[in-house]
Structure 1
Amino acid sequence: MRLDKFLKISRIIKRRSVAKDISDQGRILVNCKEAKSSTKVGVGDELTIKFGNKTLVVKVTALLESTKKADTDRMFKIISETYERDFNQETSELN
């Protein structure tokens, strides 16, 4: 399944066009390699997605052609979710 389609169907990203834009900007890694929207993903692949100050790492557990919202949890497992602190916020807290 294409990366952009997986992200949309799994509801990690709500719109396929947004998933395409993010992946084409180099903000998504599949198995530690930079991925484009057309990259094929399979069960067992690890996706690292960078959203602004948040990085989400998930493992693909199932590929479904269509899902209901309740079924999306079957498609991936969250491995980690980390947030980077804003440098400007850190410096203002120090003063």
Structure 2
Amino acid sequence: MKGAKIMFYDEFQKQLEKEIDGILLERLDVLVSEWLSNNPLVLSTEKEWMNKKEAAKYVGVANETFTRFIEDDLRVVRINGVMRISKADIDKYLESKK
């Protein structure tokens, strides 16, 4: 019986560690993206994939306006719950609205 409890605990611990790693990686991604978007010298080279805040800044609109672009079918990609928008898709979307 003790062996079963230890095995369950080990599986639970591994799953918990995996969940924590995922949360930490996602939060780290957000923090790095926020830092990069607030440091324009670092962003001197254009990125192909941006988070929503970077994409709104790229277009020159408020986050709320950019949300409306997404609702209007601007293509976004979600990777592990993290939203990314490609520069090419933004350019195509804006061109289609001319």
Q: Please give the TM-score of this superposition, normalised by the length of structure 1.
A: 0.32
Greater fraction strand:
1
Report the TM-score when normalising by structure 2: 0.31
The structure that is helix-richer by fraction is: 2
